[in-house]
Amino acid sequence: MKPTDLVLCPLTLRKDLFRCSVAEYRTFLDAGVAAGYDAVSLALIDSGIAAAEGVGREAFLDLFRSRGLETPIIEAVTVWSQGQSEAEIDAHLAPAFEMATAAKAETVVAICMEATVPSMDAAARGFAHVCRRAGEHGLKTTIEFFPWGAIGDIAAAWQLVQAAGEPNGGILLDTWHWGRRRAGPDFETLARIPGDRIHVVQLSDTAEVPGPEVMRETLSSRSLPGTGTAGVVDVLRALREIGAKPLFAPEVFSHELVDLGPAEMTRRVAAASRAVLAEAGWL
């Protein structure tokens, strides 16, 4: 993939994250192709939805191959941060790595949705184990931080990656999460991170007035990149300064945009994403 190719996130194109027919999924992919996306971020729940309709893994992956779409990102592995045993972690990782290998992915996203962890040392041990197992499959492991979670900002994510000590460990920087960080943007930490450790950047923006419930807002009321208060262009410029070459994956969860239909939504999100990339000097 070229450095400025866009990765489609089909999860954003529906209001219910856990419901999607294969027919609907095809319309999402066709809309993405028409809008100029080059790749797709694969959600493990989507492969499960397809399987429930009798669509096996290879047939599911053919949906992307037949449209010329690459599949570089697998989302997401969740069992690793709470002091689980290596056997427990491995059992959870197996289907993700099987999909990643078949899809020829580059990275597997690791997330910690919990508000607490037993300790950062325990979380780092779990993340290190995921990284080592991913490395056996030629994959990177990418930690995503959430402003409501135990790994709540880029400083915590970088601390985790450093403590894990694995060369294939890195960070997913979601600009909505960056903008909603309780203490505000943290360019000081970002400037200290080697560029090759920023694996993925998810583009969206924050409204001027936060919603009353952060989880509801993040899954329903994000703004197009460049139209809100997260300082997306400044983040993209800072990423250029540290020599980052991430995968750019717009992730605009917005019920308002979903109501416009997948063709119009993907067109608007892609156009806004390219506009901020151009303004920041990436295009």
The predicted pLDDT at position 211 comes to 84
What are the residues whose beta carbons fall under 8 Å from the beta carbon of 277, sequence distance 6 or more?
4, 236, 248, 283
Mean pLDDT of 162-167: 98
Mean pLDDT of 89-101: 96
Question: How many residues in the chain?
Answer: 283
Mean pLDDT of 120-134: 98
The predicted pLDDT at position 184 comes to 74
The predicted pLDDT at position 209 comes to 87
Per-residue pLDDT tens over the stretch 191-216: 999 999 999 999 999 998 888 889 89
Regarding the domain with residue range 7-279, which homologous superfamily does it belong to in the CATH classification?
Divalent-metal-dependent TIM barrel enzymes (3.20.20.150)
Number of H helices, E strands in the chain: 12, 8
Per-residue pLDDT tens over the stretch 103-119: 999 999 999 999 999 99
Note the pTM of the prediction, 2 decimals.
0.96
The predicted pLDDT at position 265 comes to 98
Residue 215 and residue 182: Cα distance in Å, rounded? 14
Residue 226 and residue 233: Cα distance in Å, rounded? 7
Residue 78 and residue 235: Cα distance in Å, rounded? 27
Query: Mind giving me the DSSP string for 83-141?
Result: ---HHHHHHHHHHHHHHHHHHT-SEEEEE--SS--S-HHHHHHHHHHHHHHHHHTT-EE
C-alpha angle with apex 226: 19 to 244, nearest 5 degrees? 90
Output the average pLDDT for the chain.
96
